[in-house]
C-alpha cells in the first residue's frame, strides 16, 4: 500500500523546522562541538609534555609516549641493573625515522597516538598510556601482543622489534646477558 | 679491460650510458650472470641498491648491520607483519647475509619441475652439471667439526638420543675463524659468495658495477634498446637523490623474488602472472634453554640439521618435508624474537648464553603475491596455508622433544602468548599454535616465485629461458622464476639456475 501523499508529508513535517540544509548545518555544528569537547578532553587527559630539544621527526608528546613505553619494556632489575633513560631510546627512534619514507613516518606516528590513548580506547580507562602507573602500563602493553585486534598486535611487534634490537645491541647490557661482545674486537687476526 | 665498482652516492656517472647488458641486482643470480657474460666478452653494467660494505665496516653490531645490509633496514615484512622478509641489500646480495647453507635442490623436485611445469632444462641429468658448477663456485665443503657451535651440538645430541637422522651441513666458507656473526656479514670475508667470486671475475672482465643505484622503471620493453630509469641514493641508502637514464639491449632482472616482481610491476611489464605465486618458505624459531652456559654466539651459527623429517611429503607437490636446523644470532636480533615484556623479558635475555635455537624450515606452496601500491609502495601479501602451519606444528613438537632429550630445562616457542614446554607431554601444546597473523615470529629467507617460468604464457610470467613474456630481451635470472619451492636453501639453486639460463642466453647474443 502506498502512503498517501499528505501522511508522508505530515511525518516529515514533525521535523519540518529542519530543512535538509539546516539539518546538515546543525549536525555539523553539534558534531563539531562534540568532537571539540572530545578533543579537548583528550588534550586535557594527555596533558602537556615536557619540552625535548633536538628532535627531528617526533614531537614532545610522541617522545613522551615512547619514553613511557621503554620504561616498562626495559625496567631496571637486579639481573640487568641498567637505567634505560640513560640510553635515550626514544631519541634513537627519532633518528631512525629521519631515514624512513614519509608514509612510514606517518604510520608510526599514528601508532604512537594509538598507544598513548590505548587505555581509553581499548580498556575504557580514563587515562593515557603515559599517565598509567608502571605496573598498569605494563599490563596494558602486554595485552597488545595477544589482542584480538590485528592492528594492536602489529604495533606491538613493530615496537618490540625496534627497541629490543637497539637495547640489547648496547654494550652496557652485554655483561649481564653473558655476551662478551663482537668477536671482531676479540680477534687479533682480522683481515681488512 | 678492467671494470670498476662505482658508488653513485659519491660519484657521478656520465648521462646517457648505453650498454649491451644491464643486470639489476648483484646477488647470487645477478652476479653469476655478470661473471659469465663479462668473461664471454659482453659489455655489462650491474645495478645494486646497497653499497659495498667490506672488512671491518661489517662491525658485527645488530643496529648498524641490519640497517645497512638488509632491505628496508631489516624491517621488510608482509603487509600484516606476520612474516619478516629477510632480503639482502648490499653488493653481493643475499650471499653476504645468509648462513652459508649449501643445499642443492633435491632430484625429485627437479624431476617435478620438468614433468609438471614443463621446464625440461631442470631435468636432473641436465641441471645436475649446473648444480655441480654452482658447488664449485661456492667452494662447497662439509663444515669442519671444530666449527660446529654448541647450540647446534645440542640439537645433534638430542636428535641422536631419539634416534633421528641429522648431518653437519655443507657450507661455502674458506678460512672461517668462527666469528659467529654470519647473518650480519663476515668481516673477514670467509664466505665464498657472489661478492667474493663472481663479481670480481665480472669486474676483471670489464663489468661496471654501480652501487647505491635503484632501478625504478624499465621503459620500451618491446624495443631493441630498453631504457632504465635509475635513481641514485644517499650514502646510507635512505633517500633517493638524482635520476639518470641508462640504455641496454638486454636487461636481466635478478633483484630477488620480491624486488624483481616489484620492478616489473612498476614498469607495467609482463602479463597477469607477474607478482603472483609468491612463496616465502616461512621459518619458525624454537629456543631451548639450558642450565649450563652454551655460548652459542661463537663458531658457525647454523651448522647442524635434523634431516629425519625431510621426506615426509608427497613429492608430487614438489615439497621435501621439513628440516630442523640449529641457528644462533647476536643478542639484538635474538631478543626481537622473544615475546616477553618487562622484567620477564629482561630475565629471559639474561640466559642468552644458555640458549640453543633452531629454525624450522618447511617448504611452502605458492600462497601470496607482490603488488605495487600508490607511489610505488611495495605490498607483500601472504597467507600461510593450513598444510604449512600443520607441518610447522609437527616440527615444533619434534624440535621441543629433541631439546628436552638434549637436557634443556625448558623450550620456548616464541609465539604470543609464548608457549613454554618443560616436559615431553608439554610438547603436545604445539598443536595449539594458531599462527594467527602477527602472533608468531615467522622469518622468510627464501623468497621464490612471482615471475614463474612456464612454457605457456597462460601459466607463467617468463618462458623457460627466463624471458619475461611480452618483452624483447628482458629476463629474470633469480628465484622469481621458480615454479614451486626449490625445497631447500636457495643460494645453490639460484646460482645453478642463473648459470644455466646465462649459458642459454650466450647462445643467442
User: Torsion angle of alpha carbons A179, B95, B49, B483, nearest 10°?
Assistant: -130
Nearest to B181 among A154, A182, A191 (CB): A182
Q: Do A184 and B349 touch (CB under 8 A)?
A: no
**pLDDT surpasses 90 at B371:** yes
Report how far Cα B443 is from the mean position of its chain's Cα atoms: 11
Between the CA of residue B383 and those of B76, B83, B366, B388, B432, what are the distances in Å? Answer: 16, 10, 9, 10, 19
The pTM score is 0.92
Q: Which residue of B has its CA nearest to A186?
A: B179
Residues in A closer than 8 angstroms to B61, CB to CB, are 169, 182
pLDDT tens, residue by residue, B50-87: 999 999 999 999 999 999 999 999 999 999 999 999 99
pLDDT tens, residue by residue, A152-169: 999 999 999 999 999 999
pLDDT at A86 (0 to 100): 96
Q: Strand pairing of B474-476 and B240-253?
A: parallel
Q: Do A179 and B331 touch (CB under 8 A)?
A: yes
Q: Which residue of A has its CA nearest to B189?
A: A191
Q: State the pLDDT confidence band at A16, using cuts at 50, 70 and 90.
A: very low
Residues in A closer than 8 angstroms to B86, CB to CB, are none
Per residue, the 3-state secondary structure of B9-46, as one string, reads CCCCCCCCEEEEEEEECCCHHHHHHHHHHHHCCCCEEE
Report how far Cα B206 is from the mean position of its chain's Cα atoms: 28
Q: State the pLDDT confidence band at A17, using cuts at 50, 70 and 90.
A: very low
Residues in A closer than 8 angstroms to B301, CB to CB, are none
Q: Which residue of A has its CA nearest to B299?
A: A183
Residues in B closer than 8 angstroms to A191, CB to CB, are 55, 188-189
Cα(B342)–Cα(B348) distance, rounded to whole angstroms? 10
Decide which of A62 and A14 is more confident: A62
Mean pLDDT of A166-185: 94
User: Torsion angle of alpha carbons B68, B26, B375, B17, nearest 10°?
Assistant: 120
Residues in A closer than 8 angstroms to B339, CB to CB, are 145, 160
Q: Which residue of A has its CA nearest to B348?
A: A177
Model ipTM? Answer: 0.95
Mean pLDDT of B19-47: 98
Q: What phi-psi label fits residue B256: left (phi over 0), alpha (psi between -120 and 50 degrees) or beta? A: left
Cα(B178)–Cα(B191) distance, rounded to whole angstroms? 12
Q: Which residue of A has its CA nearest to B77?
A: A158
Report how far Cα B11 is from the mean position of its chain's Cα atoms: 30
Q: Which residue of B has its CA nearest to A171?
A: B61
Provide the shortest C-alpha distance from residue A173 to chain B (in Å).
9
| Maximum pairwise Cα distance, chain A | 98
Q: Do B342 and A173 touch (CB under 8 A)?
A: no
Q: Do B352 and A179 touch (CB under 8 A)?
A: yes
Q: Do B346 and A77 touch (CB under 8 A)?
A: yes
Q: Do A168 and B354 touch (CB under 8 A)?
A: no
Residue in A183, A185, A186, A187 to test binding to B, most B beta-carbons within 10 Å: A183
Decide which of A40 and B470 is more confident: B470
Cα(B261)–Cα(B477) distance, rounded to whole angstroms? 12
Residue in A177, A181, A187, A191 to test binding to B, most B beta-carbons within 10 Å: A177
Nearest to B331 among A100, A103, A174 (CB): A174
Q: What number of residues does chain A have?
A: 192
Residues in A closer than 8 angstroms to B178, CB to CB, are 183
Q: State the pLDDT confidence band at B171, using cuts at 50, 70 and 90.
A: very high
Residues in A closer than 8 angstroms to B354, CB to CB, are 178
pLDDT at B16 (0 to 100): 85
Provide the shortest C-alpha distance from residue A10 to chain B (in Å).
50
Residues of chain B with pLDDT > 70: what percent? 98
pLDDT at A7 (0 to 100): 40
Residue in A157, A171, A175, A191 to test binding to B, most B beta-carbons within 10 Å: A157
Q: Do A182 and B238 touch (CB under 8 A)?
A: no
Helices of type H across B98-191: 107-117, 124-137, 150-161
pLDDT tens, residue by residue, B391-449: 999 999 999 999 999 999 999 999 999 999 999 999 999 999 999 999 999 999 999 99
Counted across chains A and B, CB pairs separated by less than 8 A come out at: 144
Query: If you ran DSSP here, which 8-state letter would residue B173 be given?
Result: B
Nearest to A183 among B80, B81, B179 (CB): B179
B479, B25 contact by CB (below 8 A): no
Q: Do A150 and B80 touch (CB under 8 A)?
A: yes
Amino acid at each position: 500500500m502506498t502512503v498517501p501523499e499528505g501522511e508522508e508529508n505530515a511525518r516529515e513535517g514533525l521535523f519540518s523546522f529542519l530543512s535538509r540544509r539546516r539539518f546538515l548545518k546543525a549536525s555539523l555544528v553539534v558534531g563539531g562541538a562534540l568532537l571539540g569537547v572530545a578533543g579537548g578532553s583528550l588534550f586535557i587527559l594527555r596533558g602537556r609534555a615536557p619540552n625535548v630539544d633536538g628532535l627531528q621527526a617526533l614531537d614532545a608528546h610522541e617522545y613522551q609516549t615512547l619514553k613511557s613505553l621503554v620504561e616498562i619494556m626495559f625496567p631496571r632489575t637486579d639481573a640487568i641493573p641498567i637505567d634505560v633513560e640513560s640510553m635515550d631510546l626514544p631519541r634513537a627512534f627519532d633518528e631512525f625515522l629521519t631515514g624512513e619514507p614519509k608514509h612510514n613516518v606517518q604510520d608510526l606516528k599514528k601508532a604512537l597516538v594509538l598507544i598513548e590513548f590505548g587505555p581509553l580506547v581499548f580498556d575504557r580507562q580514563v587515562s593515557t598510556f603515559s599517565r598509567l602507573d608502571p605496573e598498569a602500563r605494563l599490563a596494558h602493553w602486554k595485552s597488545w601482543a595477544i589482542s584480538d585486534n590485528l592492528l594492536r598486535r602489529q604495533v606491538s611487534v613493530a615496537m618490540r622489534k625496534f627497541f629490543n634490537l637497539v637495547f640489547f645491541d648496547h654494550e652496557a647490557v652485554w655483561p649481564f646477558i653473558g655476551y662478551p661482545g663482537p668477536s671482531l674486537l676479540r680477534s687479533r687476526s682480522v683481515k681488512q | 679491460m678492467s671494470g670498476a665498482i662505482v658508488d653513485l652516492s659519491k660519484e657521478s656517472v656520465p648521462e646517457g650510458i648505453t650498454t649491451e647488458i644491464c643486470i639489476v641486482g648483484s646477488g647470487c643470480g645477478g652476479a653469476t650472470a655478470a661473471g659469465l657474460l663479462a668473461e664471454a666478452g659482453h659489455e655489462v653494467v650491474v645495478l645494486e641498491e646497497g653499497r659495498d660494505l667490506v672488512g671491518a665496516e661489517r662491525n658485527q653490531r645488530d643496529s648498524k648491520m641490519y640497517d645497512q645490509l638488509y632491505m628496508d633496514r631489516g624491517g621488510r615484512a608482509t603487509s600484516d607483519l606476520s612474516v619478516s622478509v629477510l632480503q639482502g641489500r648490499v653488493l653481493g646480495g643475499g650471499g653476504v647475509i645468509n648462513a652459508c647453507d649449501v643445499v642443492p635442490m633435491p632430484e625429485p623436485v627437479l624431476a617435478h619441475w620438468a614433468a609438471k611445469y614443463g621446464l625440461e632444462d631442470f631435468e636432473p641429468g641436465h641441471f645436475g652439471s649446473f648444480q655441480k658448477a654452482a658447488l664449485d663456485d661456492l667452494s662447497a665443503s662439509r663444515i669442519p667439526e671444530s666449527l660446529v657451535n654448541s647450540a647446534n651440538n645440542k640439537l645433534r645430541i638430542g636428535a641422536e638420543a631419539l634416534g633421528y637422522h641429522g648431518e653437519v651441513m655443507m657450507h661455502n666458507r674458506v678460512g672461517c675463524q668462527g666469528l659467529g656473526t654470519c647473518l650480519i656479514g663476515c668481516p673477514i670475508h670467509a664466505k665464498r659468495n657472489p661478492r667474493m667470486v663472481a663479481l670480481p671475475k665480472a669486474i676483471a672482465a670489464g663489468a661496471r658495477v654501480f652501487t647505491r643505484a635503484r632501478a625504478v622503471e624499465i621503459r620500451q620493453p618491446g624495443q631493441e634498446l630498453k631504457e632504465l630509469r635509475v635513481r641514485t641514493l644517499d650514502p646510507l641508502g635512505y633517500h633517493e637523490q638524482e635520476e639518470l637514464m641508462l640504455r641496454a639491449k638486454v636487461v636481466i632482472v635478478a633483484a630477488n623474488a620480491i624486488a624483481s616482481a616489484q620492478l616489473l610491476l612498476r614498469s607495467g611489464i609482463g602479463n597477469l602472472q607477474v607478482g603472483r605465486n609468491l612463496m616465502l618458505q616461512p621459518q619458525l624459531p624454537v629456543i631451548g634453554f639450558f642450565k649450563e652456559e652454551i655460548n652459542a654466539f661463537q663458531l658457525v651459527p647454523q651448522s647442524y640439521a635434523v634431516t629425519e623429517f625431510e621426506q615426509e611429503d608427497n613429492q608430487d607437490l614438489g615439497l621435501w618435508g621439513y628440516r630442523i636446523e640449529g641457528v644462533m644470532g647476536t643478542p639484538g636480533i635474538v631478543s626481537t624474537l622473544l615475546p616477553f615484556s618487562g622484567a620477564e623479558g629482561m630475565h629471559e635475555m639474561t640466559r642468552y648464553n644458555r640458549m640453543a635455537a633452531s629454525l624450522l624450515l618447511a617448504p611452502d606452496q605458492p600462497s601470496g603475491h607482490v603488488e605495487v601500491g600508490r607511489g610505488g609502495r611495495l605490498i607483500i601479501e601472504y597467507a600461510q596455508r593450513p598444510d604449512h602451519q600443520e607441518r610447522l606444528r609437527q616440527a615444533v613438537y619434534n624440535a621441543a622433544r629433541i631439546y628436552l632429550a638434549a637436557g634443556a630445562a625448558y623450550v620456548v616457542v616464541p609465539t604470543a602468548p609464548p608457549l613454554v614446554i618443560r616436559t615431553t607431554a608439554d610438547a603436545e601444546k604445539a598443536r595449539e599454535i594458531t599462527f594467527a597473523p602477527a602472533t608468531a615470529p615467522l622469518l622468510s629467507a627464501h623468497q621464490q616465485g612471482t615471475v614463474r617460468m612456464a612454457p605457456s604464457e597462460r601459466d607463467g610470467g617468463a618462458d623457460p629461458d627466463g624471458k619475461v613474456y611480452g618483452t624483447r630481451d628482458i629476463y629474470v635470472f633469480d628465484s622469481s622464476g621458480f615454479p614451486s619451492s626449490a625445497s631447500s636453501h636457495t643460494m645453490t639453486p639460484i646460482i645453478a639456475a642463473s648459470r644455466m639460463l646465462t649459458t642459454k642466453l650466450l647462445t643467442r647474443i
